[in-house]
Amino acid sequence: MTETRDTVILGSGCAGLTAAIYTARAGLRPLVLEGHEPGGQLSITSLVENFPGWPEGIQGPELIDNMKKQAARFGATFQLAHLQSVDLSVYPYRLETSAGEICTRTLIVASGASARWLGLPSEQALIGHGVSSCATCDGFFFRGKEIAVVGGGDSAMEEALFLTRFASKVTLLHRRSAFRASKIMLDRVMAHPNIELRANTVVVEVLGVEDKEVKGLRLRDVTNNQESILPVTGLFLGIGHEPNAKMFAGQIDLDDEGYIKTVHNVFTTLNGNPVHGVFACGDVQDRRYRQAITAAGSGCMAALEVEKFLEEHAH
Ligand code: NAP
């Protein structure tokens, strides 16, 4: 017989780990399935300057590691596994994971969001051969090289700035003339001597597929349709993220972009009716704020609702 757990947390980013700290402290012995990207987006971020309590900033991986230790201290357990399928039509809920079946009375979905790609065949063919979505992971390989970053939001600005530590020149390509990034980040990018901003520009093709290494980019200026070649050896994508909620389609309401719809931040629904004991937190349900601190906040809320649910539905 599979043991029925009080609560299972899907995802080990900021939201999942905060939920783990709270549910563990409440004595619920949460099991955290670490998922495909253990530690979530913070684990591939560099300096986090806006998480309250760290006046000098803290490295993303260190922040995540601290949260994990904190949750473990109160009895949370972690499994390097991911969800394969879920059945919310039976109770206790049944999860098929890469490490076997799990039954649980409550579920906290904190599966976050994953990096988005342009979707060009040449880009896909060169992932890991000069094309990357993670500057902190791969920037090191571009010491002294010229590279490009795509995107007009804070992620792209952060990547471009970080990559100047290695690259001799960073060209930031954005498809429009207006930028989504915050003013402070955009100002830093514009003031940087090794970053060139090219607005109204899209990548049409990544060159070098036959050689299995990035040789350059074919670009198009969207204002006049003129094409040009940018000779770079690396391409970094900073164009946002996709929510990891596909496995819940049909069992939990998702919005038109695939984010989990929530009521009062963390309550899930199906056809507008509550799905009892299933809560969502962090980026998988937040297309608006998507900050470490908001993810942590909603992780806390989900955990408190789990406690309340289990009290009200004593077994
Ligand atoms: P974002 O704000 O959604 O920006 C995504 C950017 O990529 C947009 O400029 C978008 O262009 C562009 N884009 C999307 N799909 C594209 C495509 N197929 N081709 C070309 N360009 C494409 O995402 P984000 O930058 O990842 O930021 C997400 C959230 O995290 C934001 O709230 C941000 O403030 C926050 N964040 C904060 C920090 C920080 O404070 N240090 C760092 C990183 C992220 P359009 O503008 O034309 O749509």
| Residues 259-297: tens digit of each pLDDT | 999 999 999 999 999 999 999 999 999 988 888 999 999
Which domain-ending residue is among 213, 237, 261?
237
What atom of ligand 1 comes closest to residue 289's alpha carbon? 32
Does the CB atom of residue 201 touch ligand 1 within 6 A?
Answer: no
Using CA atoms, how far residue 310 sits from 13, 106, 108, 304, 315, in Å, is 24, 8, 13, 10, 8
Protein residue whose Cα sits closest to atom 19 of ligand 1 = 118
The answer on 195 and 48 residing in a single domain is no
**Edge-to-edge strand list for the sheet holding 216-221:** 201-207, 216-221, 227-230
Using CA atoms, how far residue 82 sits from 5, 9, 51, in Å, is 17, 11, 28
Which domain-ending residue is among 237, 255, 284?
237
The span from the CA of 183 to the CA of 250, in Å, is 40
pLDDT reported for residue 290:
83
Band of pLDDT at residue 45, cut at 50, 70 and 90: confident
The span from the CA of 112 to the CA of 178, in Å, is 27
Using CA atoms, how far residue 57 sits from 3, 52, 65, 128, 285, in Å, is 41, 9, 15, 30, 26
Q: Among all chains, which residue has been given the structure tokens 């390989």? A: 141
The span from the CA of 199 to the CA of 122, in Å, is 22
**298: domain CATH number?**
3.50.50.60
Per-chain mean pLDDT for the chain: 95
The answer on 109 and 40 residing in a single domain is yes
Band of pLDDT at residue 121, cut at 50, 70 and 90: very high
What amino acid is encoded at 162 in this protein?
A: F
**Domain boundaries, position 213:** 117-237
What amino acid is encoded at 120 in this protein?
A: L
Which domain-ending residue is among 237, 254, 272?
237
Does the CB atom of residue 150 touch ligand 1 within 6 A?
Answer: yes
Name the catalytic one among 137, 187, 211, 255. 137
